[in-house]
Structure 1
Amino acid sequence: MVSHKKVDHVDKTSIFRLPSPKTTKSYVKLQAATPAMTAMTACLRAKTAFTGNGSSHFLSYAVGSMDNAFLFAYNGNGVIYSLVFNAIKDTSVSKVHDGAWHHWCFSWNNRGGKWTVYKDGMPAAAGTGFQADKTIPANGVWIVGQDQDTVGGGFDATQAYVGDITSINVWNTDNVNVAAVANCGDNFGGNVISWYDVSKEIHEVSTYREDLCKLK
């Protein structure tokens, strides 16, 4: 286990493993300077077989005025959902916890409230009218594996993520070639969070190495 240690660079074969049983002690804080966002795309690779009560949060973003500025998660039935500016968008995208690696993205634009969930590079659900004209506030805190009820904390063990996760990238636009990123193009890197460059503060999360691109 590694705790309270900053890792400045993680290569493409480095993967975080958040342990079972669920706990508030395991998470990764990403040190990213975040602008106010009227559009965004958040992508990651995850592998989990966890089932049970409660939700599981891949990624959360909180600011002083709003703990649910952005959330990317799945519920106890393995169905993806997200929150933007404190409002939830349920989807029909499921089978998150099938024990296999998947590449997930959520994109949103406040012009018309357009949103899309991508699975393995392909659109899996989409719509409009979600949080149109809203702006995700700047200068917040990004946490991998937990839902923040206060900025940088306030975790609830029933909402923790259990499983493997890597390649988290965030852009402040919904104009991203998700298919290319999903096809081992993670070196593109987000302009808000670039997985290989962002400083990571790791709390009771183990790491291992595996080149996922060689599995394709």
Structure 2
Amino acid sequence: MESILKQMVRLLSLIALVYGCCGESQDLSGKVFTIPTNDANPYIKLHANINKPITAMTMCQRFNSGLERGQTLFSLATKSADNELMLYKSSLGTYRVHVRLRSLDFFNLPDGINEWISLCWTWDSKTGLTQLWLNGKRSARRVISPHGTITGEPSIVLGQDQDTYGGGFDPNQSFVGDVTDVHFWDKVLSPCDIKYYMHGQIKSPGNLLNWEALQFTTNGKVFIEKSDFIC
């Protein structure tokens, strides 16, 4: 009897672990994640539908923050590299992209504080071309990590920079504010599709991360509130 009870406890623990890890898919249309505190505890873990190497991508999100200091907007790590794909806002108008441990800085982009910023980031491994779009305006195209692929089980986090796989957070790099409409594709979206997104519309939701069917878990003081991006 004791052996059966132990097996049942293990089974229940496993079920709790699985459901706690993956969370339930939710439609967050018209909602935002709000992170109001400046520390290393709050973050959102996103569970993506990734079953093959990433050779091209587009990540889009909208955010609103009152901070002028650097903060992390998107972090994808694998067990072999913590900065496989990472987008970091260094200061007003300055952004840094990381692809496979290499980085590039983009300067003089249209930006502001306490206002909504619609942002998309693209990268194609065949050419290495990468670019940022902010509020409908595109940066110059640059080259980073051509002929590379992102492989392995990804850990995707909003709100923190992963210095280790799934952890190693630094409060001085944390995001404070609201983030919404996060989508992630395994392709480079066309300029027309990106412009649709910039105006609050979307032709086809992300096939890796879809804000309208998002699987996630949260940690620390993370709230889900109504969006005021479009009223």
Is TM > 0.5 for Structure 1 vs Structure 2? yes
Aligned residue in 2 for 1:70 = 85
Greater share of helix:
2
**Counterpart in the other structure of 1:116:** 131
Aligned equivalent of 1:212: 229
Which of 114, 118, 122 is 1:103 aligned to? Answer: 118
TM-score with structure 2 setting the length = 0.83
Runs (4+) of structure 1 exceeding 6 A deviation are none
Q: Counterparts in 2 of 1:127-206, with a 5 A limit?
A: 127-176=141-190, 177-186=193-202, 188-203=204-219, 204-206=221-223
Residue identity in the other structure for 1:192 = L
How far the C-alpha of 1:78 sits from its partner, in A, is 4.7
Cα distance in 1 for partners of 2:29, 2:112 equals 23
Q: Distance in 1 between matches of 2:228 and 2:115?
A: 15
1:81-96 pair list within 5 angstroms:
81-94=96-109, 96=111
8 Å contact kept, 2:49–2:207:
no
Who is 1:18 aligned against?
Answer: 35
CA gap of 1:77–1:11, structure 2 versus 1, over 3 A, is: closer
Q: Give me the identity figure in percent.
A: 24
| Unaligned runs of at least 5 residues, structure 1 | none
State the distance in 2 between where 1:94 and 1:127 align: 13
Q: Is the 8 A contact 2:186 2:207 kept in 1?
A: yes
Contact 1:37/1:138 (CA < 8 Å) preserved in 2? no
CA distance in 2: counterparts of 1:117 and 1:76, whole angstroms? 15
Distance verdict in 2 for CA 1:98–1:104, change over 3 Å: same
- The AA in structure 2 aligned to 1:139 is E
Decide whether the 8 Å contact of 1:45 with 1:103 is kept in 2.
yes
**8 Å contact kept, 1:107–1:174:** yes
RMSD across aligned positions (CA): 1.9
Amino acid at match of 1:31: H
Q: Distance in 2 between matches of 1:180 and 1:31?
A: 25
Q: 1:7 to 1:26 in 2, by over 3 A?
A: farther
CA contact (8 A) 2:110 2:137 kept: no
C-alpha contact 2:71 2:89 (8 A) present in aligned 1: yes
Give the secondary structure class of the aligned counterpart of 1:196: helix
User: Structure 2: where are the runs of 5+ without partners?
Assistant: 1-19
- Residues of 1 paired with 2:27 and 2:225: CA distance? 11
User: Residues 174 and 99 from structure 1, CA distance in 2 versus in 1: closer, same or farther, beyond 3 angstroms?
Assistant: same
Give the superposition deviation at 1:186: 3.8
Per-residue deviation, 1:64: 0.4
Q: Distance in 1 between matches of 2:185 and 2:108?
A: 22
- Which stretch of the first structure deviates more once superposed, 105-114 or 76-85? 76-85
Of 131, 140, 163, 1:126 maps to 140
Shift of 1:46: 0.4
> TM-score by structure 1 length?
0.88
Counterpart Cα distance in 2 of 1:94 and 1:182 = 15
- Once residues 92 and 29 of structure 2 are traced to their aligned partners in structure 1, the CA distance between those partners, rounded to angstroms, is 30
Q: 2:76 and 2:180 mapped to 1: Cα distance? A: 17
C-alpha displacement of 1:115: 1.1
Amino acid at match of 2:142: T
The answer on whether the counterparts of 1:48 and 1:96 sit within 8 Å (CA) in structure 2 is no
